[in-house]
A and B are shown apart, each in its own frame.
Chain A
Amino acid sequence: MEYEYIICFETHVELNTNTKLFCGCRVSYDAPPNSCVCPVCTGQPGALPVLNKKAVEYAVKAGLALNCRINTFSRFARKNYFYPDLPKGYQISQYELPFCEDGFLEITDDKGNPYRVGIKRIHLEEDAGKLVHSADTSGEDYSLVDYNRSSVPLLEIVTDHERNPMHSLQEGRAYLEKLKQILKYIEISECMMERGQLRCDVNISIRPRGSSEFGNRAEIKNMSSFRFILEALEYEIKRQKDIIESGAEVKQETRFFDEEKKITLPMRSKEDAPDYRYFPDPDLMEVKIDRDFIDMIQKVMPELPDRQLNRIIEQYGIPKNDAVILTKDKAISEYFTACAAICEDKRRLGNWIIKELFKLLNEASVSIVSCPVRPHDFVRLIEVVSKGSITESIGRTVLSEMFSTGKGPDSIIDEKGLKPIEDDSALLKELEEIIRENPEAAARIKAGETKPVDFILGQVMKKTRGKADPKKVRDLIGKILSGSY
């Protein structure tokens, strides 16, 4: 039987603000336990939350990047439940009136067409602390709690069940990758999954093709990598198919993914779903977002990846495959953008970043953010190569030298004596000698063959260690053998 799927994501993104959502404590991933805490984020009696404006700015920024409506009035609500990592006994989140609603994110669907995945809402909430169970560290039985993460700002991005949900694993993957790309582009999160900065809950329901109703959906919690998310989905699809094919009905429930066994297991049924007793947080005022605030954010909004992709294809004539690579990652795109602003030969620039620079970066395991070759120098090198002042091959040697020394191309060309031989007489001398040594090739050229020209040229380049200008050498070969020199 063939099946159709509805896949939805609830993605939690840790924002990279300097301070927490409701207090002035520093946000730090690796500070010693409970060193970034205060009365507010540890839920001391009498402490009150004060909203971090930067986080609101980031939420709106995400909303704009994901084509959402920004609500004029937004409100924080308390989500009440007991857990030792939740110091107040409630999480300050949003329920009614989140910051952003009804947006979309465009991906390429399974047929290769553009598809706008519906975004239902984006809201801001605080993270909980972290429990460290003694079993992780020793044999004793106790748990410790670290509140450094408590009240760190999180953005929750929820896709729509009804309006353009995803229908396949591929679409799911495309959505997640695109989402991460955009969030990094607008610089609101580092999105490091291994640090829990991007976490995902997934909803999935399926139906046999042609059937009118989808089955109940399962929500899978606690997945910390794209791979686990896709593995969980794959398992879940199979599980639900088996249930349907056995004639039973899929239960609506929350499940969790066992990363080792690669299976999902029941966590709680719909009947056991907790009642969070949401209500507006009386400690915080409604947040009013006016046109000016939105305009201010719009102004500092960087060019989004899709737009940039199209622009560099259309304006710069960069081939699509190259353009995709150049815009895939914020840091790469920034490097490219910085170079492109001062570079004439943008095609070669793109090509050289992908072919030559990436090779060096990979070999040295260096990220482009800390690339030792400054854009200015890189562009100068492209210029020199484009003008034909040095060959591509010498260009590669120079780049490698630039990479390891951090020096500019001109000084390297100078120091290493890689400057092209400008003097015709020197070239002539070499050429005459080679022709003398290879009379047969010379004869064939005279007879009108072109192939031996390349051979002679190769010999010249070898002798001059690549410093000869190939165009000029070809010219000279012709002239000598035709007797016009």
Chain B
Amino acid sequence: MDDFRFIENFKKGDISAFGTLVQKYQDRIYTLCRYILENQDDANDAAQDTFVKAYQGLKSFKPTSSFYTWLYRIAVNTCLDHKRKYSLHSLFFSKDFEEHIDNYPSHAPSPEAAYVAKQSMQALQAALNSLSTKLRVVIVLNELEGLSYEEIAEVLDVSIGTVKSRISRAREELKKSMGEFTEQR
């Protein structure tokens, strides 16, 4: 069943239809929040808030855009609000970044490959975290969530040209930060 059918059922009073939508998108929304907000507790809070806001707005949702771009827009705005709210807090209680990236799991098969993969993933995570939020959001939506430029423009309510330029800048900055992991040998 497609999203619009679930939405129609929800509008008729079937709350379980909304539960199905949460089930369908929770991993993607949580991943997006996790990469924007950097830690799992904040990501969990933001993902929950995203779905609660979606629930409150779903009755007035008009299918002029796809449900998931609408949901991503709520998620991005919720994460930005979250960052604003906690930016002052983080000045005094910043998390140990090394501890955070050490927890990054690796699925590589051999110990050597696992080491290299883990190193590169840690470097990628560190490079992502060093980006400004604007650039981080576009690159995560593009590279991790696989959204087209048009969809990203819709999510962020900006022009395609802006998306194109932000993604190019994000890649350039990541390339500089990643150094040895992307350089041609």
Q: Do A and B come from one complex?
A: no
